[in-house]
Amino acid sequence: MKIRTRLNVLAVCIMVGMCWSGRELLKSYEQHRDIQTQIDEILDLRGTIVFLDLNSFDPKLSTVLKEKRRQLGTSKRAELVSNIIQAYNEQDPKIMRQRIYQFLKTDEKSYQRALQSLASADKQVKTFASITLGFPLMGLLLLMFLVRSHLFKSLERLNRRMMDFLVDRYSFQFTEPENNEIGAIQRTFNSLAQRVINNMDELKSLDQAKSDFLSIASHELRTPMTSIKGSLSLLTNGVMGKLEPQAEKLLRIAEMETDRLIRLINDLLDLAKIEAGKFPLAGAWVSWDETVLKTNQSLLGLSSTAKVNLYAAPTPHLEVFIDRDRMQQILTNLISNAVKFSPDGGTVYIEVGRTGNGELLVQVRDEGVGIAHEDQELIFQKFRQSSSPENPIVKGTGLGLTIARALVEEHGGTIGVASEKGKGATFYFTLPKWRDAYGSSPEAIREAA
Amino acid sequence: MKILLAEDDSNVSLITQLCLERIGGHSVTIATDGALALAAAQAEQFDLIILDGMMPKLSGLEVAKELIRLGLNKTPIIFLSAKSEEKDVQQFLSVGTGYIAKPFDPQTICASIDAILKNKAVG
């Protein structure tokens, strides 16, 4: 049954009960009052009779008595009073006394009877008064019981169902809703849950489709690139015989552009993987200097062609918690950018410092053309490059900084750039987890502060 | 060195063969799918087997597992694959000696092979 119906039934019961007992209370009160009046009359009459002056026989009192006699109607008491009046009028004290005595004897009986009725009427009044008061109290108790057993328990059950869904939506069991107002809420919740589950299934299959696409795309894109790159390389390196200088130059161009295309494919796939959350970091404590050294070694070809020096400030004993391959990818992106924008004979500095809150601050500084203020946020977006590199040795894919940013964020850090047009640029990023042999760490620094 | 190269893409296999023969001076036998590669490896003794990761009939991984099951695990196996995801690479390295990512540089493939084999000899 609905909770509202139960409440209505309860209210009607209480109201009907209160009306009935109220009416009874009123009735017994009126009865009580009537009996009280009767008793007053008896006492009044008795007083008048007892205090009759048997010496003077005041005729005025005879009139009073007659009046009272008239009110009594016809009864044994009335008759006795008539007798007294008669004797009073005859002014015979002896007979008077006799008759008064007779009257008092009878009167006492009716007085006692009246007192008894008064007592029982009194009891009745008290009983109905308690019942009338009792109904709302009982109603209150019933209301509390109803609220507890139906409303609160249903709400608790519903809450538990919702929690179950929160904890584990896959093994969520749909139950038949209760047949009350809370049941209506549960029904709504069930539909919501169903919709959430459907949406999740849909998302899952979309996610799977994306993964499949990435996997197929990487295979299908890389296989032909292997053939192209391989053919070009064999030709340009004279493995298949000597070539005309012009033809060789053309092939070198094709080879360079192929390399660029391969980098673009790799960057795009990396970015897609990072964005799909399929790029789990393999974090470990590794030496910072070693990581930088390896990166710089892999960039030696690029930097020597561009006639740019790489200078890494030594930080012995510094260890960082990173995925080394990914960190090398970040550094490669930042350093190769710096090299590309450096003038001949310039230097790219790789330095390490600390941020205000104790994080490691890695900076890659160049002496190049700098980046205009309005471009500084733009260059981290996909396919955005600062205009006119003066030293276009290796054309970028426009994805390097986007990937670097994503990877830095995966490491829990932030990336940014500080630069002024014409005064070089400093790319920096933070790393939250580091330590050194002297017992220094972000925690230690924060504590000291 | 006698090398068995299993690669289903004929362009890739031709170029790889040229690289290995002209630059590295190896002799190369080509198998165009996993099943043929398995048959060739059983029929003849090679110094090195290079397997493409994705091939029709049997994948490179399956061929390698089958060879190990048959006890033909003396010949080192190097995988050649366009799949570069962490879990794929780990799978390759769990059954093979090495892994070379596609697209590879023809100039360096012979050096890479030598490095992998030398590493193995040291290990």
Tokens read off for A146: 């109803």
Pinpoint the alpha helices (H) of chain B: 10-18, 34-43, 60-69, 86-95, 106-122
Give per-residue pLDDT as tens, A126-145.
Answer: 999 999 888 889 889 988 99
pTM: 0.54
The reply to whether residue B54 touches residue A234, judged by beta carbons under 8 angstroms, is no
Q: Give the H or E element holding residue B51.
A: strand B48-52
pLDDT value of residue A66: 84
Best A222, A237, A263, A298 member to test B by mutation, with max B CBs in 10 Å, is A222
- Is residue A90 pLDDT above 90, yes or no? no
Q: What phi, psi does A283 have (nearest 5°)?
A: -75, 145
The reply to whether residue B102 touches residue A278, judged by beta carbons under 8 angstroms, is no
Give per-residue pLDDT as tens, B91-104.
Answer: 888 888 888 888 88
Give per-residue pLDDT as tens, A329-338.
Answer: 899 999 988 9
| A224 neighbourhood in chain B, CB within 8 Å | 11
Query: Using 50, 70 and 90 to split pLDDT, how confident is the model at A385?
Result: low
Q: What is the mean pLDDT of chain A?
A: 85
CA A43 – CA B73 distance, rounded (Å): 132
The reply to whether residue B15 touches residue A282, judged by beta carbons under 8 angstroms, is no
Query: How many CB atoms lie under 10 A from the CB of residue A340?
Result: 23
CA B87 – CA A209 distance, rounded (Å): 18
Is pLDDT larger for residue A447 or for residue A32? Answer: A32
pLDDT value of residue B58: 87
- Is residue A167 pLDDT above 90, yes or no? no
| B102 neighbourhood in chain A, CB within 8 Å | 222-223, 225-226
- Is residue A105 pLDDT above 90, yes or no? no
A218 touching B, CB under 8 A? Answer: yes
Instruction: Tell me the residue type at B45.
Output: Q
Residue of A nearest to B12 (CA): A227
Question: Chain A, 268-287: which have a CB under 8 Å from a chain B CB?
Answer: 273, 278, 280, 282
Give per-residue pLDDT as tens, A309-318.
Answer: 889 888 888 8
Asked if A398 and A267 count as a contact pair (C-beta separation under 8 A), the reply is no
Please state the ipTM of this predicted complex: 0.75
| A218 neighbourhood in chain B, CB within 8 Å | 82-84
- Is residue A249 pLDDT above 50, yes or no? yes
CA A433 – CA A246 distance, rounded (Å): 53
Q: What phi, psi does A366 have (nearest 5°)?
A: -125, 170
- Is residue A393 pLDDT above 50, yes or no? no
Mean pLDDT, residues A6-13 taken together = 89
Name the E strands within A197-298.
284-287
Q: What phi, psi does A71 have (nearest 5°)?
A: -70, -25
The reply to whether residue B85 touches residue A237, judged by beta carbons under 8 angstroms, is no
A231 touching B, CB under 8 A? Answer: yes
Give per-residue pLDDT as tens, A115-128.
Answer: 999 999 999 999 99
Asked if A351 and A343 count as a contact pair (C-beta separation under 8 A), the reply is no
Question: Chain B, 51-80: which have a CB under 8 Å from a chain A CB?
Answer: 54
| A234 neighbourhood in chain B, CB within 8 Å | 15, 18-19, 22, 106
Query: Using 50, 70 and 90 to split pLDDT, how confident is the model at A449?
Result: low
A355 touching B, CB under 8 A? Answer: no
Give per-residue pLDDT as tens, B4-34.
Answer: 999 988 888 998 898 889 888 899 999 999 9
Torsion of CA A88, A89, A94, A97, to 10 degrees: -10
Direct distance between the N- and C-terminal alpha carbons of chain B, in angstroms, rounded to an integer:
20
The reply to whether residue B104 touches residue A230, judged by beta carbons under 8 angstroms, is yes
Tokens read off for A219: 């295979």
Which of A126, A117, A124, A128 minimizes the C-alpha distance to A35? A117
CA A303 – CA A385 distance, rounded (Å): 20
